[in-house]
Structure 1
Amino acid sequence: MTKRSLRTLTGVVAIGALALTACGGARSGDSGDGGDASGGDGETFTLKFSHVTTDSTPKGTAAIWFEEELEKRTDGRIDVEVYSNSSLYGDKDEMQAVQQNSVQMLAPASAKFTTVAPALQVLDLPFLFDTPDDIPSVAAPDTEVGKAIFANPDLEDKNMKVLGLWDSGMKQIHSNNLTQKPADMEGKKYRIQPSDVLKSQIEAWGGSAEAIAFAEVYSALQQGVIDGGENTYSNIESQKMHTVQSNIAESNHGYIGYILVVNTEFFDSLPEDLQEILVTTAEEASTYNRDNVVALNQESKETIEADGTSEINVWTDEERQAFKDVVVPSIYEQYRDVIGDEIIDELLAAQE
């Protein structure tokens, strides 16, 4: 049995462990999470990295790259265990797990931080980026958007240190009907990530929004609980959503960004040299992710086209503008108090 297969089989045990941890307090890096209490240069640490997508997605491939590189660069002093596809923790419990040090690293979509760090909903704003090429400049650490990500005090207060921003890519609208104008969404139910911004966006276009865990989306579509959703090509294809949806509107109307975080208690328990290697490797993993995300989404799009179960409809500039006019600047202004004046002002100025 492979190391990765064993992790999948043991993932269910972690749910019970999280419940025990919630009662007994956060576990330290040397108490059940791999730390060797002997100290010195021989001290070793286990870093559990949990995420909800498959290994073939932009997040999955970057996580594997990070695992291999960090273990190599630390000569095995940090043992990385990657648990993909919700095999350890899922959407409903991963945020609690990292705050309690039950898992040491996550890369959740920004929408997952709605209640923890509301300003991160900035990444959920519609039409924030036109293409993936815009992301590095708009979300650079010295911009207002970047400061909300990399210097967020709410995350620090919740035992999370930000190490990077990973891309899943641009979102497309999938459904069982042709979507070319906002009126096509009226009366239909769409799956969203748990974000007030995303809920307001769907409702502005005439639909209703339902927050559903990522691992449950396929069955919800298959059973008709929802009519459609919004996601990147890689997520749609890897979860087989396109096999139960007849249409995909290539809208590029939104962005899915993953906030790479590490538990601060675990990070602070590392010797300084390992902290430096961890930070550097995480930064390079972000570059690796961004260098590969466009190609991976294109491969998924081609797989969907080859399967022939969904027809892809690429929006014209006029169709995209019609959707944009409904939500920009209105949604930006609606969430000004939540996201922050400086951020909204910067973004609206860039839209002009």
Structure 2
Amino acid sequence: MTIMTRRAFVGTTGLATLALSMPAVKRARAADFRYKYANNLPVTHPLNIRAKEAAAAISKDTNGRFEMQIFPNNQLGSDTDVLGQLRSGAVEFFTLSGLILSTLVPVASINGIGFAFPDYATVWKAMDGELGAYIRGQIDKAGLVVMEKIWDNGFRQITSSTKPIATPADLKGFKIRVPVSPLWTSMFEAFGASPTSINFAEVYTSLQTKVVEGQENPLAIIQTAKLYEVQKYCSMTNHMWDGFWFLANKDMWDAVPKDIQDVVAKHINAAAIEARKDTAALN
């Protein structure tokens, strides 16, 4: 697989959707397992591009027995809503930031400590190493299944409609949207900002209507979610690295035969590695 540019992502989205939707019609009756995969990212984001490739490979290698249906862009609800659906079995797969998952698994937020990672080499040494293994063990104890490789979300940057954020002092009184996580809130409160927890599905509207002045996200999300349309400044703060754990409902996962589990996990983990390259290129 090759690294995709912004132009390639946008240009191939329509073709990828058509290419994957047609075989799905043929496989629908034959599939023994039709599992829903939800995420909160635009269809043009690397995560969804690579997830579509993984879904096609899984279907092929299981001879159509396993079909992964992708629901991007909060189609099935907000992050907190879908986490509940995942736990109940209404949704089988979900990718979620560790900082939001920390409402269920507290240690999952550890990668979100401000300025903990100076670069990607340090990130992957930790998250593909002992730290990542420990977090996955805690997720397992919470009754969820988690894939081995965490998906890259990227280093987070601050955008604003009112002023550039050049120094910590610029955050004083700054009304900023943060995800629903105590760690995000406490970090920006420490800088004297005024953080508001808002689910990602409502971020664009909240910025557009001036409920908040700014937000913080990796460049890939700022680009694919078109947040630049409602923001004027982007400050390269690199204040936090964030990633998505690929989660599964345990009962639904255990219902899948081991040989098919192995195929699904193999392609999901491989897609995560490819998406890391894509996201790094966009960032």
Structure 1: runs of 5 or more not aligned: 6-33, 37-41, 298-352
2:226 maps to a residue whose letter is K
Identity %: 26
Partners of 1:48 and 1:138 in 2: CA distance: 30
Partners of 2:99 and 2:62 in 1: CA distance: 32
- Partner of residue 179, structure 2: 193
Given that residues 51 and 268 in structure 2 are in contact (C-alpha distance below 8 angstroms), is that contact kept between their aligned partners in structure 1?
Answer: no
Given that residues 176 and 213 in structure 2 are in contact (C-alpha distance below 8 angstroms), is that contact kept between their aligned partners in structure 1?
Answer: yes
| TM-fit CA distance, 1:184 | 0.5
1:86 equivalent among 50, 59, 74: 74
Query: Does 2:47 match 1:59?
Result: yes
Given that residues 4 and 82 in structure 1 are in contact (C-alpha distance below 8 angstroms), is that contact kept between their aligned partners in structure 2?
Answer: no
| TM-fit CA distance, 1:53 | 0.6
Given that residues 48 and 83 in structure 1 are in contact (C-alpha distance below 8 angstroms), is that contact kept between their aligned partners in structure 2?
Answer: yes
| TM-fit CA distance, 1:35 | 11
Partners of 2:262 and 2:171 in 1: CA distance: 48
Segments of 4+ moved more than 4 angstroms: 2-5
- Partner of residue 146, structure 2: 162
> Relative to 1, partners in 2 of residues 1:230 and 1:86: Cα closer, same or farther, differing over 3 Å?
same
Q: Which has the larger radius of gyration?
A: 1
2:62 equivalent among 56, 59, 74: 74
Question: Secondary structure, in 3 states, of the residue corresponding to 1:122?
Answer: helix
> Relative to 1, partners in 2 of residues 1:43 and 1:174: Cα closer, same or farther, differing over 3 Å?
closer
Partners of 2:256 and 2:234 in 1: CA distance: 46
Partners of 2:31 and 2:59 in 1: CA distance: 14
> Relative to 1, partners in 2 of residues 1:282 and 1:172: Cα closer, same or farther, differing over 3 Å?
same
1:116 maps to a residue whose letter is L
Partners of 1:62 and 1:4 in 2: CA distance: 12
Question: Secondary structure, in 3 states, of the residue corresponding to 2:80?
Answer: coil
- Partner of residue 278, structure 1: 264
Given that residues 64 and 82 in structure 1 are in contact (C-alpha distance below 8 angstroms), is that contact kept between their aligned partners in structure 2?
Answer: yes
- Partner of residue 214, structure 2: 228
- Partner of residue 23, structure 2: none
Given that residues 120 and 148 in structure 1 are in contact (C-alpha distance below 8 angstroms), is that contact kept between their aligned partners in structure 2?
Answer: no
| TM-fit CA distance, 1:147 | 2.8
Given that residues 131 and 252 in structure 1 are in contact (C-alpha distance below 8 angstroms), is that contact kept between their aligned partners in structure 2?
Answer: no
| TM-fit CA distance, 1:288 | 1.4
- Partner of residue 219, structure 1: 205
TM-score, structure 2 normalization: 0.85
2:274 maps to a residue whose letter is Y
1:93-242 aligned at under 5 Å gives the runs 93-141=81-129, 143=130, 145-152=131-138, 155-163=139-147, 164-175=149-160, 176-242=162-228
> Relative to 1, partners in 2 of residues 1:4 and 1:90: Cα closer, same or farther, differing over 3 Å?
farther
Cα-to-partner distance string for 1:80-139 (whole Å, 9 max, x where unaligned): 100111112322311011111111101111122122101111021111222223221021
Measured on the aligned residues, the alpha-carbon RMSD in Å equals 2.2
Cα-to-partner distance string for 1:140-192 (whole Å, 9 max, x where unaligned): 23x2x21332211xx33443111030001111011121211111011111111
| TM-fit CA distance, 1:203 | 0.9
Given that residues 42 and 48 in structure 2 are in contact (C-alpha distance below 8 angstroms), is that contact kept between their aligned partners in structure 1?
Answer: yes
Given that residues 35 and 44 in structure 1 are in contact (C-alpha distance below 8 angstroms), is that contact kept between their aligned partners in structure 2?
Answer: no
1:312-351 aligned at under 5 Å gives the runs none
1:84 maps to a residue whose letter is P
Question: Secondary structure, in 3 states, of the residue corresponding to 2:260?
Answer: helix
